[in-house]
Chain A
């Protein structure tokens, strides 16, 4: 076995040194009645070459955005990722290290995390960010639990235009401690209904949760949402599943958001059929001690040299146990490293440029599809890189027809919104060429 260096002879020597006759003696404490008396029923070992072949044929059964032109977004985005990312994260010093419990020999990971925290703050306009969480939906759930701790209140008001899976996850988390949920509908133009939200907010509300851009791609006016929430003493939680948008959109921190929780996948992370992804989480300084997740801080060593450590651990489970702010232990360090390298490589100008290209290409696609017979735009509010198309034919049939032409045409909204069962959510990124968009429009019109 190529991953296990010790031979039978090595093991024999070690067993002699231990003073036992056989390895079975070391397992004598497992009750005989529950020992497994047969080999595990799993497939026999494969050689490296055979396994690579088997995996290759599994992979070939999946569509990938290199072979198909894809217009799917909805929380997972097809963005360009610079080549250096794969090379840097493959360095064993990053890949095969663990949580930096020993700062003297973990400064690489720690400085990278400190830079990540800074970049997230700059991107979101918030004061402090943690070193990452699992992914966007559970980060949003943690934001709600935090709002409940900060305010001591038990009611949550969530916009229906928040990603349906995020709402489902926040609900799963919150029902454990019996938080109650109210839903803010969306307006005919596609924004969260501020008037209705105001009607639901009261002095029992812990937080108002909105998403920007919302699930329909619509850009929300967060400033008005923040004012409404703060008016009743509640926090504004903003979910951001598409952070590339922050290359051009006003950051939530400047709009009065108290907690920003989002999905970092768009920042250079492969779509990988849904994970591993990256939850980012940022808030205002006054709430630091209520914040979940790992934090890295700057300090100095005995000689006065600057360095970094995990800090404020008294919030965390290994110290506080059942009184911790969260049960979270690991973060998503390597995925956060991807996002860090992505943000640095694209930088100030690159992220803006990518965001602009997304906006322009989606706008082009919107105009194009609006003119296709049997298609129309469902909402009229401004959008970023996603928008909702209403179709005359059954959406499932439309998608089936597109798939035959190697086009993955978008998401059927009926699966989450019965009231939008004649609609598709279409996403266009910098990866979709004008040619692809034209082909989509042509195919949607029934052309060839």
Chain B
């Protein structure tokens, strides 16, 4: 392939399932010899409660395992390989120093129940991180417990429910704009709330009038993503918050897109009562193929009495867990949260400092608007206005040549790029949601822009090439219908 591409073919190796490899008696481990009497298991535990084999479990050597995963890794695309503009996922570079710090024995090999007097470093880190996140959000307290963004949303709605319950009525409904991520309605439903959709206006934002029309005293609150999933700042947020507060409701902000305005404005100053932060997005902790993340929840003072236990408090020079929160909603996970992930976020914040964080937000927005300005014309822009950290195009031009968003996404792989988020938000038909982040250079963006333009030309001149994409990866398009109709979710012996 010639033209604007970083993609090329290379040697990758096939690798069967581990269950199809190895031989009986082959081992990949070495354990110290037993230094205690070698009693038989059935002398200590009744035989009916024991097993004597794990049928199907692998028997392979260390070399086998290394090659197995190294070969498989080469079938993956990651940020370390190239541009990964997956909208709303904030795929920014993951600093390696943070990985090293998480592996320090004093962090990695510390037990969650070890005495507080020998956990002061961990506790101090958690306490300071709470202060940083509260300041970044303009909030009073932060629970570091949730394990992911959606987990944070769930806690946020639980806090709202507990708040209303303490006033005598948990209320029945949550308002959610039609541009919201699917986790918003799902989190509300788990808390027993009925979801009332709010239509976005023609400018791509929620209009105060639309909120006022459905807001009543049975509405517990509203969940707003800001900037929203079109990459547009909800510029009526202050007014919307006033309407919701006017009827006693609470304002929840889905903070998945916070990267766009860290240091420039703060959710707490806009009338937002509670927000979750996706530290694997805004604060650069690695996505790991889909987790682990962390989803701290920042809140205003009036929700703090309901925080999950424990919190970390500072008394004099000492740090301690506080389990004494009488009105607490309880706990949403064991122990204190994804400490190792929070630690990486802490390290990131301390690497950038106030000026660096603000700079990150600014450059993420410049990068997104640069792509927007350069692809306008080649692709249809459903909401033609400046964006924040991401921009949303669609396939309205290409469908005339029978080329769809999915085809464009697959063709981008041949050019050496990860596709954007596709078919989301749902309110844009055939959406292509592009989030470059601040860790990409202008040269990388120019390569991507050239590839997108080349694909737009191919759509007109050689549609089959695009519809048949991708051509370079190890496998072509997968039969997803077969996967769903005849589920094969595990290996079984033939």
Contact residues of B between 408 and 430, Cβ < 8 Å to A: 409-410, 413, 418-419, 421, 424
A98 near B86 (CB under 8 angstroms)? yes
Contacting residues, chain B, for A273 (C-beta < 8 A): 107, 110-112, 119, 122, 335-336, 339-340
User: Which of B44, B114, B121, B190 contacts A327, CB < 8 Å?
Assistant: B190
In Å, the complex CA distance between A433 and B181 comes to: 51
In Å, the complex CA distance between A63 and B302 comes to: 36
Q: Given A13-B442, A309-B478, A330-B293, A323 and B77 touching (CB < 8 A)?
A: no
In Å, the complex CA distance between A219 and B235 comes to: 59
Q: Choose, from B209-217, B244-252, B393-401, B481-489, the stretch at the interface.
A: B481-489
1/0 per residue A222-238: CB within 8 Å of B?
A: 01000000000000000
| A346 at interface by CB-CB < 8 Å | yes
Contacting residues, chain A, for B151 (C-beta < 8 A): 134, 138, 328
Identify which of A67, A137, A332, A352 gathers the most chain B CB atoms within 10 Å of its CB: A332
Could you name 26 residue pairs across A and B whose Cβ atoms are closer than 8 Å? A14-B369, A29-B232, A29-B235, A34-B265, A51-B101, A64-B109, A66-B109, A93-B80, A94-B76, A107-B76, A108-B74, A176-B190, A246-B51, A250-B50, A251-B51, A272-B339, A273-B110, A274-B334, A311-B483, A327-B154, A329-B183, A332-B288, A344-B68, A349-B27, A350-B27, A359-B45
User: Which of B86, B291, B374 contacts A331, CB < 8 Å?
Assistant: B291
A63 near B118 (CB under 8 angstroms)? yes
Contacting residues, chain B, for A35 (C-beta < 8 A): 264-265
In Å, the complex CA distance between A7 and B410 comes to: 32
In Å, the complex CA distance between A37 and B350 comes to: 21
Interface residues on A, range: 35 or more
B286 to chain A, nearest CB (A): 5
Contact residues of A between 269 and 299, Cβ < 8 Å to B: 270-277, 288, 294-299
B317 to chain A, nearest CB (A): 12
Contacting residues, chain A, for B124 (C-beta < 8 A): 58, 61
A75 to chain B, nearest CB (A): 6
User: Which of A84, A121, A350, A437 contacts B66, CB < 8 Å?
Assistant: A84
Contacting residues, chain A, for B97 (C-beta < 8 A): 48, 51-52
A295 near B28 (CB under 8 angstroms)? no
A347 near B59 (CB under 8 angstroms)? yes
1/0 per residue A244-260: CB within 8 Å of B?
A: 00111111001000000
Q: Choose, from A16-24, A203-211, A370-378, the stretch at the interface.
A: A16-24
Contacting residues, chain A, for B99 (C-beta < 8 A): 90, 95
B482 near A300 (CB under 8 angstroms)? yes
User: Which of B122, B264, B474 contacts A107, CB < 8 Å?
Assistant: B474
Q: Given A137-B331, A250-B50, A357-B31, A363 and B39 touching (CB < 8 A)?
A: yes
Q: Given A176-B158, A326-B186, A299 and B356 touching (CB < 8 A)?
A: no
A40 near B78 (CB under 8 angstroms)? no
Q: Given A30-B265, A102-B409, A275-B338, A62 and B76 touching (CB < 8 A)?
A: no
1/0 per residue B450-494: CB within 8 Å of A?
A: 000000000000000000001001111111101110011111000
B113 near A76 (CB under 8 angstroms)? yes
User: Which of A26, A297, A327, A345 contacts B386, CB < 8 Å?
Assistant: A26
Which A-B residue pairs are the 6 nearest by beta carbons? A92-B80, A334-B288, A274-B335, A59-B106, A45-B353, A61-B121
| A301 at interface by CB-CB < 8 Å | yes
User: Which of A14, A64, A100, A318 contacts B110, CB < 8 Å?
Assistant: A64
Contacting residues, chain A, for B27 (C-beta < 8 A): 347, 349-350
| A261 at interface by CB-CB < 8 Å | no
Contacting residues, chain B, for A221 (C-beta < 8 A): 48-49
B256 to chain A, nearest CB (A): 10
B330 near A46 (CB under 8 angstroms)? no
B344 to chain A, nearest CB (A): 10
B107 near A272 (CB under 8 angstroms)? yes
* A-B contacts besides A63-B114, A134-B333, A169-B330, 6 pairs, CB < 8 Å: A5-B441, A55-B104, A246-B51, A246-B54, A324-B186, A331-B291
